[in-house]
Structure 1
Amino acid sequence: MAERVRSGTVRLWAAARRHPFFAVILAIAALLRAVAMVGYTPAMFFNDSFDYLHVAMQPYPHPLRPDGYSFLLIALKPFHSFALVTGIQHLMGLAMGVMIYALLRRKFGVWKWVSAVATAPVLLDGYQIQLEHLILSDTMFTFLVMCAVTLLLWHDRPSWRIAASVGLIIGLSWLTRSVGAPVLLGVLTYMLIRRVGWRMLAVTTVACALPVVSYMGWYKADSGKFAITESNGIFLFARVYKFADCHRMDDLPVSEMILCTEPGNRLPNSQDGIWNVKSPLNRYTGNRFGPYQNSLANDFSKRAILAQPVDYARVVGHDFLRVFQWKRTTFPDPATYGQYEFGKTTKELPDWHMDADSIASAEANAYERGRARTKIIEPFGTAIRVYQDHVYLRGTMVGLILLVGLGGMVPMWRRFGGRALLPWTLATGLLLAPAATAEFDYRYVLPAVPLASLAAGIAFSPEVRERYAALARRLRPATGAEAAPPTGPVEEKVPEVAAK
């Protein structure tokens, strides 16, 4: 055993010496995550955390969000440790940086220092570290998507095993966050462009469908409907809530008129259309996330989009562009925004009734088998808090990263942007999807960053650099040929006669 440890240490040290810049970044990233774990123990909680935890304590298909992340909590439940959960999530964050570096160096031949810099937005961002420390699905979802992309980019012509693995991973990501559905569409489109063959496309699709259809079968057995959630229409209602004008909708059913709100009576944020007690959805009796309300909200939202496409495009564009703002503002409200930061104080866990017999704080304490409330340990808490305040990826930087990736795709236009097409389109899609289906939220930006960073790194690959060099060579002679001829007299040069 000691010999194995010694051998592993030697190999690790040798790898660090071969890749010193990345080794330093990775070591700093690991140290920062260790400081976060010690400074805020055992974990940090968001409002959604207690829904995931409730499913882990009493498994059932949740009507609002799929249970993929709850399955992870169930698997780790015997250890009774939220610190173990966040520790695994921090390892996922580090692993995403390793994936980016390995792909850029080994597969695309990018310079070492550029490959290392491409990992920094994932490994060193203060808000990314905090997101990994929350009991939330986002880190797991991002990790699964990065695994699928890494497998697909590593193998130019994937075997059926690789295709099946990619499909299965995407299926799990779909069950972790519903936005995994467009990820499948992006992956299949990329495979079609790369001409991997219809058999590999079929294998990927079937492998993805296995966990998804199984989950939908469980949902049907529990609620009577073959679905993943009962919330897609309700979230879409939040998107149209701020602009929907019932006077412009034709043949609006009486049952949906309850959702109409005059402009002067609307709440300030789109998300208020779901969560605020004054939401029009609360005018119906019964569960707000029931199938009846979801169906009505979905139909109403589609009517609003078709009747007011310009207004819909305006709110989507506004939220999408908000991603790229330099200054980070308090949004949607101080209470929600504060949960995205390492705070100076912590609150007691909520006493919400998750059902008739369960309370959120009690379930958290039962999972931990002890006191689960976040405790700040100094000076580590102050250290990671100050770090997050000053070191994070601003929205404008995200835009620049996307532009660099797009710049690397331009000379590869005959091949639809080359292999950077996959991570770049997925990153853009993950940024656009919340703006199109719900509302902007800062935490929805971070899952796109590893993919965008990977695409930006590919822009420095030898293949792309050579394309740009060839383009420069073609432009240089053309510029010389188009130069105007001299207008003055041309002096004739008389050949000199050699003296004898």
Structure 2
Amino acid sequence: MSRSAATGVDGDPSRRALPARVRALIGRHPAFSVIIAIAVLVRLAAMLAYRPAVFFNDSFDYLHAALDPYPHPLRPSGYSFLLLALEPLHSFAVVAAVQHLMGLATGVMIYALLRRRFGLPGWGAALAAAPVLLDAYQIQLEHLVLSDAPFIFWVTAAVTLLLWNERPGPKAAAGVGLLVAAAWLTRSVGLPVLLGICVFMVLRRVGWRTIAVTLAACALPVVAYMGWYSQVHGKFAMTESNGVFLFARAYKFADCRKIPDLTVDEQQLCVLPDNKLPNSQDGIWDRRSPLKRVVDMRFGPRQNEIAGGFSRKAIVAQPGDYATVVAGDFFRAFRWEREVFPDLKTYRLYEFEESAQPLPTWSMDADSTAADVADEYERGSAQPRVVEPFGHLVRVYQDHVYLRGTMVGVLLLVGLAGMAPLWRRFGGAAFLPWTLATGLLLAPAATAEFDYRYVLPAVPLASLAAGMAFAGPLGAASSRRRARREAAAGVDAGAREDTPERPAVASSS
């Protein structure tokens, strides 16, 4: 027999073995295989329907900082670095594809961690990964030219790496630090993630060397970025916007009649309660905002300092009003229905629409508009378009398949219930994803305002915590069933060995 006949037409046995390996992998993970196959198909449909990608208001700032790199004063430029790395391909479709792969990888990490580390049965781990893999708003977020999908990926990767072994070694600790740094440089809320991870490591007594390695690995890229920011803007910081965003929070409740010791500059921000605009974000973006009275560039150092000082004094003087506003936005995340908030225009940016909106023409600098920046990145027309019938299929999917806010609350409650019996150990390993999920929901409510896209980064962590709550009983039950199968297989094998072989029956042919 020739070699090609023995190994296949192309003479490569690995090619014949590949389908068998895939079938074996599917056989070991049937429930997860079905879920991730659906997740891939829906993401492919989104890419076919909404070309080349979907844009958000913030997209053009990220693109502007990617085409001519500089540290943006409003938000960290980590996402711009990702766009810069992909820029030679000149394709928003590639950007969307990378972010969809990040979404799929996030689901895989949840499944793998719950199966390998915590012994959850396959169907249970697949169920925990389903919210990230199948939620239509998660898929739409991945299709936006926006920082949230990479942020979710970096944070989930850091948690997965930290929990993969009982006690992480130096390499794992360094990896965790670098992943947290990537998250922090992508969104400012990465700082609370670092604090949460450090608290967890202290409670788990991983050792000061491991904690030091994590902090050092995180600090190196962050400090380098802050040094770059200092060279450009003259201040050792990551942004010049924390005070302005805090003003959005204070604008909702601040009453200058109750706030003592306001400076003359801070008094510029006073507005009578009856004359306030309806939403917190109006305190930043609306042309009637009192911030317009501060003579400085938007998000400039003087504006940021005055807004921050006013906001902190308002919070100290009106702690009850501040707590009420924060609680209202925090619990808004758990409502069953998705109401139009904060306004219809913003709400629609998170929907797969029937028609694509034209690229905006507001100025990015003296020489270019937002549309110019997008076209320059694409090296051609970046105007979004909707292709049917794929668009209709995706819109129908989004109408019916999404994680309601109440379900997010249930995930957190299940995780909390699983932690309760382990209160002497601070809830065990689930303490990390549960506190990070809760913190990621609370941070925007405490420092800016509720937004639907701020809910989604908490979902994979809440799913992990809920899966860990069932890991003990379900994992034990799965182990018992596996032991019984192995025992039965051993008995059958022993019986076959004890049975004498029968003589072969001669063939009539």
Same fold (TM over 0.5): yes
Structure 2 CA distance for aligned equivalents of residues 121 and 465 of structure 1: 21
Change (3 A) 1:4 1:217: farther
Aligned to 2:493: none
Structure 1 CA distance for aligned equivalents of residues 459 and 437 of structure 2: 7
**1:291-350 superposed Cα distances (whole Å, 9 cap, x missing partner):** 111011111100000000000000000000100000111111111110100001111101
Secondary structure in 2 aligned to 1:412? helix
Alignment of 1:150-169 (within 5 A): 150-169=160-179
Aligned to 2:76: 66
Change (3 A) 1:76 1:7: farther
The code of the aligned residue for 1:82 comes to F
Choose from 63, 70, 78 the match for 1:53: 63
The code of the aligned residue for 1:230 comes to E
State the 1:369 CA deviation: 1.2
- 1:86 equivalent to 2:96? Answer yes
**1:93-112 superposed Cα distances (whole Å, 9 cap, x missing partner):** 11111111111111101121
State the 1:462 CA deviation: 2.3
Secondary structure in 2 aligned to 1:259? coil
State the 1:440 CA deviation: 0.4
Structure 2 CA distance for aligned equivalents of residues 251 and 413 of structure 1: 44
> Does the Cα contact within 8 Å between 2:295 and 2:303 map onto a contact in 1?
no
Structure 1 CA distance for aligned equivalents of residues 475 and 264 of structure 2: 61
> Does the Cα contact within 8 Å between 1:238 and 1:439 map onto a contact in 2?
yes
Choose from 199, 203, 208 the match for 1:193: 203
- 1:272 equivalent to 2:282? Answer yes
Structure 2 CA distance for aligned equivalents of residues 362 and 4 of structure 1: 49
Choose from 237, 243, 254 the match for 1:233: 243
Choose from 17, 20, 23 the match for 2:33: 23
Aligned to 2:483: none
Of 310-319 and 370-379, more deviation after overlay is shown by 370-379
Choose from 283, 300, 306 the match for 2:293: 283
TM-score by length of 1: 0.92
State the 1:7 CA deviation: 4.2
State the 1:5 CA deviation: 5.1
The code of the aligned residue for 1:128 comes to Q
Alignment of 1:211-360 (within 5 A): 211-360=221-370
The code of the aligned residue for 1:425 comes to T
TM-score by length of 2: 0.90
The code of the aligned residue for 1:251 comes to D
The code of the aligned residue for 1:133 comes to H
Structure 2 CA distance for aligned equivalents of residues 183 and 341 of structure 1: 28
The code of the aligned residue for 2:127 comes to V
State the 1:126 CA deviation: 0.6
**1:334-373 superposed Cα distances (whole Å, 9 cap, x missing partner):** 1111010000111110111101112110110111111111
Of 21-30 and 458-467, more deviation after overlay is shown by 458-467
Secondary structure in 2 aligned to 1:461? helix
The code of the aligned residue for 1:240 comes to A
> Does the Cα contact within 8 Å between 1:412 and 1:464 map onto a contact in 2?
no
State the 1:83 CA deviation: 0.4
State the 1:413 CA deviation: 1.1
Aligned to 1:477: none
Aligned to 1:452: 462
- 1:404 equivalent to 2:414? Answer yes
Structure 2 CA distance for aligned equivalents of residues 199 and 97 of structure 1: 31
Of 5-14 and 57-66, more deviation after overlay is shown by 5-14
The code of the aligned residue for 1:154 comes to W
> Does the Cα contact within 8 Å between 1:108 and 1:458 map onto a contact in 2?
yes
Structure 1 CA distance for aligned equivalents of residues 318 and 15 of structure 2: 64
Choose from 420, 426, 442 the match for 2:452: 442
The code of the aligned residue for 2:21 comes to R
State the 1:11 CA deviation: 2.3
> Does the Cα contact within 8 Å between 1:408 and 1:464 map onto a contact in 2?
no
The code of the aligned residue for 1:110 comes to L
The code of the aligned residue for 1:341 comes to E
Structure 2 CA distance for aligned equivalents of residues 232 and 464 of structure 1: 44
Alignment of 1:74-153 (within 5 A): 74-153=84-163
Structure 2 CA distance for aligned equivalents of residues 279 and 140 of structure 1: 32
The code of the aligned residue for 1:434 comes to P
State the 1:9 CA deviation: 4.0
The code of the aligned residue for 2:394 comes to I
**1:30-79 superposed Cα distances (whole Å, 9 cap, x missing partner):** 00000000000100000000000110111111000000000000000000
Gaps of 5+ in 1: 468-500
Structure 2 CA distance for aligned equivalents of residues 290 and 155 of structure 1: 45
State the 1:414 CA deviation: 1.3
Of all paired residues, the percent bearing the same amino acid is 65
> Does the Cα contact within 8 Å between 1:351 and 1:359 map onto a contact in 2?
yes
Choose from 381, 387, 390 the match for 2:400: 390
Aligned to 2:373: 363
Dislocated runs of 4+, deviation >2 Å: 1-13, 462-467
> Does the Cα contact within 8 Å between 1:114 and 1:457 map onto a contact in 2?
yes
> Does the Cα contact within 8 Å between 2:414 and 2:469 map onto a contact in 1?
yes
Secondary structure in 2 aligned to 1:446? coil
- 1:206 equivalent to 2:212? Answer no
The code of the aligned residue for 1:296 comes to I
State the 1:465 CA deviation: 7.7
State the 1:12 CA deviation: 2.6
**1:408-462 superposed Cα distances (whole Å, 9 cap, x missing partner):** 1111111110101100100000000000000000000001000000110111112
> Does the Cα contact within 8 Å between 1:411 and 1:464 map onto a contact in 2?
no
Aligned to 1:478: none
Structure 1 CA distance for aligned equivalents of residues 15 and 44 of structure 2: 22
The code of the aligned residue for 1:43 comes to A
State the 1:270 CA deviation: 0.3
State the 1:10 CA deviation: 3.2
**1:202-253 superposed Cα distances (whole Å, 9 cap, x missing partner):** 1111110011100000000001100000000000000010110111111110
**1:127-158 superposed Cα distances (whole Å, 9 cap, x missing partner):** 00000000000000000000000000002111
Of 283-292 and 92-101, more deviation after overlay is shown by 283-292
Of 117-126 and 4-13, more deviation after overlay is shown by 4-13
Change (3 A) 1:267 1:3: farther
State the 1:286 CA deviation: 2.6
Aligned to 1:174: 184
Structure 2 CA distance for aligned equivalents of residues 340 and 206 of structure 1: 37
**1:4-28 superposed Cα distances (whole Å, 9 cap, x missing partner):** 5554443232111111111000000
Structure 1 CA distance for aligned equivalents of residues 444 and 13 of structure 2: 51
Structure 1 CA distance for aligned equivalents of residues 340 and 17 of structure 2: 50
